[in-house]
Amino acid sequence: MKPGKPLALSAKSAAAFPEKRCLFSPKAQHRPARLRGNGIVFVPLLSDMITLSDPTGCCGCGACASACPHEAISLREDAEGFLYPHTDADRCTRCGLCEKVCPLLGGPQPARPPLHAYAAHNKSDTQRGQSSSGGIFSLLAEEVTAGGGAVFGARFSRDCRSVCHDYTEVPEGIAPFRGSKYVQSRTGSAFRQVQALLRAGRTVLFTGTPCQVAGLRRFLRKDYPRLFTAECLCHGVPSPKVWRRYVDEIFPAGQEAGGAEGKEELRSVNFRDKGHGWKDYRVVLRSAPSGDPASCRTLIEESHHRNPYMRAFLSNLCLRPSCYACRLKNGRSGSDLTLGDFWGIDRISPALDDDRGCTLLLVNTPRGEALCERIAPRMERTEADLEKAKPYNGGFSESIPVPSRRRSFFLGLETRLPLPRLLRTVETTSHHLLPLKIRLARFFPRLATKYF
């Protein structure tokens, strides 16, 4: 390869993500490289420093950055808003640890069928009502914290504009982790915190996407009997940048009204409000004055079919590139448990569906089974036929195809078109005209905002 020339993407990724430039660190671009099947690039002269050329080869789990003993890896957002590792070659000692812990290096993991599949829900109506499906996460988290353990999960930041991993050691601290947040979460220092707690002899429940669970397990590099992991059934994570853009449009940062009680702040986001039932879930955003958090005002309450952010997510337009070629879901992450929505339960076993939420609970390991037995008195569960459930749930599909309009959608994000109008343009414009229309919107923003 000529010095300075960006590395080619793998043939499949090059076709799917033609807009992607090389993610290689600037220094490494000048060295000979070999492209592995998963798009992670080996740089033999530098040896073992992790570098990327193919966006599908990184799920953003952060294991490499957490493992680096010299803090040489930082995770930075790319143009689409997804985090990728960047290596500071001056700090790197080529120890190779980052490569060892990457869950996407080391070849595909074999899929492991679950030991048991259940249709399950929490007996507490309150907890189930606040959860995305049957509220099983809350039972697991209560059980672990009540026994003196720590629970890790994804929660919104204070301003609700991003999602990150955090932990609690008390049952009262579980609430922020409850409910699905359809934004990729930053793992930050969570993996190191899990390790520190386990080394101190504490019990830990780590919850997240399959790739986050796999990343944590690789990062730890040994099995701790006191570690429990529960992954969500995952069809993909949307871009944090798209979420920020959506929130900024409905609730502009820095422009919040300041009244007698203080500035109006975005207080809560519920992607899975069950006010109209579990199946017809709604997206609800609420704000409140900073001085009076109790007096909440509803900003948005929309069915997921109508909400533009959910439409972009559910039509797979804004998922992370690795989600279109996922190698860690469907029993490949090593997670003890898997939690998903039991879509189709109304057809498979109508008697089990009361439209208040049903979890598809997969028990993957004996350790997961032991934890489930501990929460058994507080849940309703019925053994289920997994094969019947799979056709109803997009989370089981091996690889979601990359929508042909994905590229136009992300290019359109750089225009001034508000998200609902961008989405309408992307959804309704003919395949041939769409790139032209997006280009027009970029160069003639006034025209676009008036006529599109």
Instruction: Give the residues lining the site for ligand SF4 (CB under 6 A).
Output: 48-50, 58-64, 67-68, 70, 72-73, 85, 87, 92-98, 101-104, 209-211, 215, 234, 236-237, 320, 322-323, 326, 328-329
Q: Does 135 bind ligand FAD (CB under 6 A)?
A: yes
Q: Which range in 16-24, 229-237, 373-381, 430-438 contacts ligand FAD by CB under 6 A? A: 229-237
Q: Which is nearer to ligand FAD, 39 or 395 (CB)?
A: 395
Q: Which does 210 bind (CB under 5 to 8 A by kind): ligand FAD, ligand SF4, none?
A: ligand SF4
Of 134, 215, 321, 368, which one interacts with ligand FAD (CB under 6 A)? 134
Q: Does 215 bind ligand FAD (CB under 6 A)?
A: no
Q: Supply the minimum distance, in Å, between the C-beta of residue 376 and ligand FAD.
A: 15
Q: Supply the minimum distance, in Å, between the C-beta of residue 136 and ligand FAD.
A: 4
Give every CB contact of residue 331 below 8 A, 6+ residues apart in sequence. 111, 112, 113, 114, 338, 364
For 394-419, letters b (16+ CB in 10 Å) and e give ebbeeebebbebbbbbbbbbebebbb
Q: Is the dihedral of CA 186, 192, 196, 201 positive or negative?
A: positive
DSSP annotation of 99: H
CA dist., res. 229 & res. 253, Å (int)? 36
Q: Which is nearer to ligand SF4, 97 or 266 (CB)?
A: 97
Q: Is 139 helix (H, G, I), strand (E, B) or coil?
A: helix
Q: Does 216 bind ligand FAD (CB under 6 A)?
A: no
Evaluate whether 353 touches 247 at the Cβ level (below 8 Å).
Answer: no
Of 13, 25, 193, 209, which one interacts with ligand FAD (CB under 6 A)? 209
Residue with tokens 């050691």: 169
Q: Which does 133 bind (CB under 5 to 8 A by kind): ligand FAD, ligand SF4, none?
A: ligand FAD
CA dist., res. 190 & res. 211, Å (int)? 14
DSSP annotation of 6: P
* DSSP-derived pairing of the beta strands 116-122 and 282-289: unpaired
Q: Supply the minimum distance, in Å, between the C-beta of residue 342 and ligand SF4.
A: 19
Sites of contact with ligand FAD (CB under 6 A): 131-138, 153-154, 163, 177-183, 185, 207-209, 232-235, 237, 339-341, 359, 393-395
